[in-house]
Structure formats: C-alpha cells, structure tokens
Structure 1
Amino acid sequence: MIHIIAELFRNFDVGLVIFDDEFNIICVNDFIKKKFSFPVFQNSNLLAFHDEQAKEKIRKMKEEAASKGQSHSYILKIFNVEHGDEIFLLGKVFLLEGDCEYRFLAVLFDITFLTTDRKHKILKIPVYDGEDILFLETKDIEFFKAAGNYTEIFCQDKIYLCPLSLAKIEKFLDERQFFRIHRSYIVNLTFIERLIREGTRHYLLLRSKQILPISKGKSKAFLKIFGLK
C-alpha cells in the first residue's frame, strides 16, 4: 500500500487548479495549461469538464475539504490530452486559508507511468482501500466485474472497487492475458481451471472456485483461443 499524498508529491507530475465555492476556476498551473490547452483568459467552471457522476464526486470532495481541510476521498479519471494521448489523473481537494478563504485547491497527480507500460497497457490499477489508494498488479487480478460506472476487482480473495468503468479498463488490458467473456465480466485467462458446459451455455470455474458465465455472443471467440472451435 502507498500512503498516497506524500508518495505522489515526491514522484509524480502534479496539476493544480484553484477554484471558488461555486466551482469557478480562478487559476491553474503550467501542467494543466500544457496538457489540456487550458483557455487561460476564458471564464471556466470546473464541473463543466466532467460527466454527472464525476460532478457528484467533486461536490462531495469539496464538502469534505470545507469541513475537514481536505477531502478524505479521491477521484480517478482518464483524460484525452494533446496528440491523442490518454493520461491517468488521481485528484484530491484541499481548503485554502487566509486571504484565500472559500477557495479550494484541486491537486491532480499524473499516475500514467506508474499504471501503464510503453504500449499503454495497464500494469497496475488503482483501487480504493479505505481512505488510501492501493495499486494492484494486473497479473494478480482474477477477474473484473462491472458495477455501474465503477468496477469490482477480485484479487487474492478480496474485492476492491475501482472508479473506472469496465469498458475503460478493458481498453488498457493486455488482450493476451484478459478476455471479455460477458458484458459484466473480464477474466484473467491464467486463473481458469475448468470450462463447464450446460446445454448450450458455457461457464468458467476459476482458481478461487468462482463460477463466471460466458455469454453466447462471446463463447465462439473464447473457445477459439483454446482451439475448441
């Protein structure tokens, strides 16, 4: 486990956004300007850059910062930036004091190089672990399960929640190791112990004794991997 704030400040590029109580952006640092081609002289609202789920999360983080000085929760987002690249940003909100009363600081850590390799495949995936963020190695993950706009991750007999959708995670997984067997499941092929057939349906028995369904639309492609079709 990484004690996140101290570790990230030492090792990662950091974006800074100062905003007021109505989420109007007051200023940003050079990292934000360069990565997002930020319109420096244009009035912008922080919430305008996010979907409804993220807006709700940011409002909650601001409320936490207003009462405790900093948010105890984090937000994780994948952003499209210059040259079509995608970066992983982990954010936390702090309350500013003194002359900056009723203003807030959003700190955004670029964790892309920690989570992905040169081919932009995920090596480690951030998940919530209480008030901290834990980075799980993908090779240790047994399977992913969709949970709305979040994803449940099953790893070493524990279940973790990742604030990324299953579709976003799938995009960055190594297809040689992971396979989307169902709209709700992605399985690590190395954890499969048995293929079970019941009539026209197929299921997977995993090392943990979990049983996952293979949808009819995915079964042909899955069986082909193992030369069974």
Structure 2
Amino acid sequence: MPPTRTPAPSSSGSFEYRLQRTPVGVVMLDLARRITAVNAVAGRLLRLKGTDPIGADILAFHPPASRAKVRWLIDAAENATDGTAGMVVTTPMGSLVAKVTTLGDQGFCMMFHALGELPMGDAEPAERPHLLKLPVLRGGATELVEIADIVCLTAQGHYAEALTRAGTHLCPLALAELEKRVDPLTFVRVHRRHLVNLRHVRAAERVDGRWTLALSAGQGARIPVGRDKVELVRRLLAV
C-alpha cells in the first residue's frame, strides 16, 4: 500500500493562506449600540487594553473624525435589505475594513480587519456602476443628493466634502472611491484634493501663472488646478 502523502502547506502568497492568517476583530453590540462582547483581536486593534469596554458606546473607541462614519455604517446595515454594510474606517491602529450585520432584536455584530491584510491576488475587481445619488450626512441621518447637483467634491481625510448650491455636506466615501463611481466625462480630478463637476464651472482664470476654476456655488468658490492637470482642463473647457 503506497504511503499517504500529506498535502503541502499553502504558499504564504496564496489567497487561502492569507485568508486563514488574517486576524479578524469581532465586536457584539446591543440595540443601543453598546458593546456586549469583544474578542482579543478587536481589543488589540481598538487598543482596549486596560479598559472595560462592556456597556460602553462603540463610538467612544473611535476618533471624533471617524464617529460619523461608524454611525453611518451601523445605520446602513440597519436599513439594508440584507442587514449588512461595510466600509473603511480609521482607528488608533490605522485603517480597518469594517462590516456590520444585524442580529434581529439581539443587536449588531461588527467585524473588521486591518486594511491590506487580505489582498485578492491577481483577480481584477469588478467595475462598479456610476452613482445615481450621493450619500451625505446631515443631522445624524443619511440623505441622498442628486449627482447632477454636486458642484465639487473635496478630500477630507477618509471622507469627502460635497459642495452644492445649498451648502457643504460630509460624504462618508473617500475621494478616491468617488472618482471611480462618477462619470469621468463630467467629474474631473483637477487637483489631488478636488474632483470638480465641469458643468458647474463658471470661469477659468490664470493668475501669476496658476490656474483656478470659479464655481457656480459656494459664493464663487475657487478651486486650484494642479500643474499636471492644466492641459487636460484647458482642453476640456477650450480655454
């Protein structure tokens, strides 16, 4: 009888290997979004050592700038048809991929792992459809704004600030993500921090060798044009 061979261990570069090795943090929340249980990985990622998180609001363990995003994530899961939602959030340990699922009247389960821990190999990500509306945070709720009404999108850390004729609003999506989800023929990255809807550009001006775009909202807000984007902008606006 031939000897039985033991399968060779997975290559450290394979997706299966990384899947098994990726530490996943788990936090259980009640309906009031207070922590009821937390595993060791979550405790390490959220730096809970020396504290008793049970009964505490989950938002207390995130930086102030990230709390609106975490609140939006839980709200999104609560209102989703399948009861799940996910996004990238910032913690004291860096950026995390977070997912939330509802547990009926038991509350919520939040799971997360460090960004970059789980690469997908050579698989090409599926192209995501263009956004029809933009989610913005206002008064603790998520509102949807028509994409055509967006004048400019500006990077604000892991979020984006959306400018409309009605004012500015915080969007829970990063500018890099938004750039992939809007029509590239209308929205142009004219600067590393600004994505402009060219339909709302009122004027293009050159002062002291630097180009700026005057917008139709924000009291005539002016957006700088990056040096590497000048030719593209001039070509698109015929100036």
Give the TM-score normalised by structure 2: 0.53
- CA distance in 2 between counterparts of 1:174 and 1:61 reads 37
**Cα distance in 2, alignment partners of residues 166 and 119 from structure 1:** 15
Q: How does 1:134-153 map to 2 (within 5 A)?
A: 134-153=143-162
In 2 relative to 1, CA 61–177 (structure 1 residues): closer, same or farther, beyond 3 Å? Answer: farther
Most deviating of 188-197 and 218-227: 218-227
Correspondence for 2:137: 128
Counterpart CA distance in 2 for 1:90 and 1:137 is 26
- Percentage of pairs with the same residue: 23
Instruction: Assess, with a 3 A threshold, how the Cα gap between structure 1 residues 139 and 95 changes in structure 2: closer, same or farther.
Output: same
The aligned counterpart of 2:72 is: 74
What is the root-mean-square deviation in Å for CA atoms of aligned residues? 3.8
Whether 2:215 is the aligned partner of 1:206: answer yes
How far apart in 1 are the matches of 2:41 and 2:195?
Answer: 36
Question: How far, CA to CA, are the matches of 2:232 and 2:43 in structure 1?
Answer: 41
- Say yes or no: does 1:19 pair with 2:28: yes
Structure 2: distance between partners of 1:90 and 1:207: 38
Partner of 1:40: none
**CA spacing shift, 1:61–1:121, aligned 2, 3 Å:** farther
> Once the two structures are superposed, what CA deviation does each residue of 1:3-57 show, in whole Å capped at 9, x if it has no partner?
xxxxxxxxxxxxxx99363445xxxxxxxxxxxxxxxxxxx96799x999xxxxx
- Please state how far the C-alpha of 1:204 moved relative to its aligned partner: 0.7
**Residue in structure 2 matched with residue 163 of structure 1 by the alignment:** 172
Do the aligned residues in 1 keep the contact of 2:27 with 2:42 (CA within 8 Å)?
A: no
Preserved CA contact (<8 Å) 1:61 1:73 = no
Are residue 224 (structure 1) and residue 235 (structure 2) matched? yes
Q: Shift of the alpha carbon at 1:62?
A: 9.1
Matching residue of 1:105: 108
**Aligned-pair CA distance for 1:95:** 9.3
Cα gap change, 1:168 to 1:201, in 2 (>3 Å)? same
Q: Which has the higher helix share?
A: 1
Q: What TM-score do you get using the length of structure 1 for normalisation?
A: 0.55
Which blocks of at least 5 consecutive residues in structure 1 are unaligned?
A: 1-16, 25-43, 53-57, 64-71, 80-88, 98-103, 108-117
Q: CA–CA distance in 1 between the matches of 2:139 and 2:208?
A: 43
Distance in structure 2 (CA, Å) of the matches to 1:148 and 1:172:
18
**Other structure's SS at 1:164 match:** coil
C-alpha change, 1:91 and 1:74, in structure 2 (3 Å) is: farther
Contact preservation (8 Å) 1:194, 1:206: yes
Contact 1:151-1:162 at 8 Å conserved across structures: yes
| Gap regions ≥5 residues in structure 2 | 1-25, 30-35, 48-56, 63-69, 77-85, 89-97, 111-126
**Offset at 1:91?**
5.7
CA-to-partner distance for each residue in 1:96-132, whole Å, 9 max, x for gaps? 56xxxxxx3259xxxxxxxxxx960111111111121
Give the structure 1 partner of residue 58 of structure 2. 59
| Alignment deviations for residues 126-150 of structure 1 (CA, whole Å, 9 cap, x no partner) | 1111121101111000101111111
Aligned with 2:204 (options 186, 195, 201): 195
Aligned AA (2:132):
L
- CA–CA separation in structure 1 for the residues paired with 2:131 and 2:195: 14
Partners of 1:221 and 1:194 lie apart in 2 by 15
